[in-house]
Every structure is written in structure tokens, then in C-alpha cells.
């Protein structure tokens, strides 16, 4: 039971991270009247017919900035993990790098004094 609950909780967490804009839009639609009357920057100017859209756009931009900063932070962390702190030392050993002489052995092939085999001709 606990594993199933934990699995559902992790799925919801992953989905909520992926659909943050959807949740912002849903919150805006559910609270449209309150946002238009209390939080809208243009509530003093009804002729603009903003109705809280300025607040909605501001929240979307904040979510995008938060997402971008999170991506930058993860890229920064990945870069820091790949950074070498100590320079690797390369050492050449002279006894391993000696030039070896190739032996000059000639291989004597056997001499066969026979005619080359030819299959019989069909007739």
C-alpha cells in the first residue's frame, strides 16, 4: 500500500513539474474574478479590458524564468562534475619505448617441379 502511494506521489510530482504552465492557467481561470478585481495592474483602467491577463502573463514569465534558471543550474552542476581538478600525469618509460630490430630471416619455399594441375576437359 505504501509503495503504491509513493508511486502515485512521484508520478504526480513529475507531471506537476512538466505542466507548470497548465497549473498556472487553471489557477488563473478558477480565480479570474479575484485576480481582475484585486491583483490586476490595470484594474484602475477598465477601458483596457485586461481582466487580469497582465497578471497571468507576469506569472507565465516568472515560471519560464524559474524553469530557465533551473536548467542553467543543472547544466552548471553537470559542468562542475566533469571538471578535472588534478592534471593527469603522463610518464614515458624509456625501456618500454626501445626500438626493436626486426629479424631478417628469409624463408625458403620448397621447390616443386611438377606441372600445374588442370582439370580434365569435358567433351
Instruction: Output the tens digit of pLDDT for each of the chain's 123 residues.
Output: 888 998 998 888 877 777 777 778 888 888 888 888 887 777 777 787 788 888 888 888 888 888 888 777 777 666 655 556 677 777 776 665 566 677 777 777 777 777 777 788 886
Relative orientation angle of helices 20-30 and 2-18, to the nearest 10 degrees: 80
The residue segments making up the domain with residue 28 are 20-82
DSSP state for residue 46 in the 8-state scheme: G
Work out how many domains the chain is built from and give that number. Answer: 1
Instruction: Let me know if residue 49 belongs to a domain.
Output: yes
State the pLDDT at residue 96: 58
* 89 lies in some domain: no
Q: Is residue 63, in this structure, part of any structural domain at all?
A: yes
Q: Is residue 4 part of a domain?
A: no
In a domain, 27, yes or no: yes
Phi, psi (rounded to 5 degrees) for 92: -105, 130
What does the pLDDT read at residue 28? 83
Query: Is 120 part of a structural domain of the chain?
Result: no
Greatest Cα pair distance in the chain: 115
* Structural domain includes residue 74: yes
Count of CB atoms situated within 10 Å of the CB of 55: 21
Q: Is residue 116 part of a domain?
A: no
Amino acid at each position: 500500500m505504501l509503495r503504491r502511494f509513493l508511486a502515485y506521489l512521484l508520478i504526480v510530482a513529475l507531471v506537476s513539474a512538466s505542466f507548470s504552465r497548465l497549473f498556472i492557467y487553471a489557477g488563473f481561470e478558477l480565480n479570474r474574478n479575484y485576480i481582475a478585481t484585486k491583483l490586476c495592474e490595470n484594474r484602475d483602467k477598465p477601458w483596457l479590458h485586461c481582466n487580469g491577463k497582465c497578471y497571468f502573463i507576469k506569472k507565465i514569465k516568472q515560471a519560464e524564468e524559474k524553469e530557465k534558471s533551473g536548467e542553467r543550474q543543472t547544466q552548471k552542476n553537470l559542468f562542475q562534475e566533469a571538471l578535472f581538478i588534478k592534471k593527469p600525469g603522463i610518464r614515458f618509460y624509456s625501456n618500454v619505448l626501445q626500438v626493436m630490430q626486426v629479424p631478417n630471416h628469409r624463408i625458403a619455399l620448397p621447390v616443386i617441379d611438377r606441372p600445374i594441375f588442370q582439370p580434365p576437359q569435358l567433351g
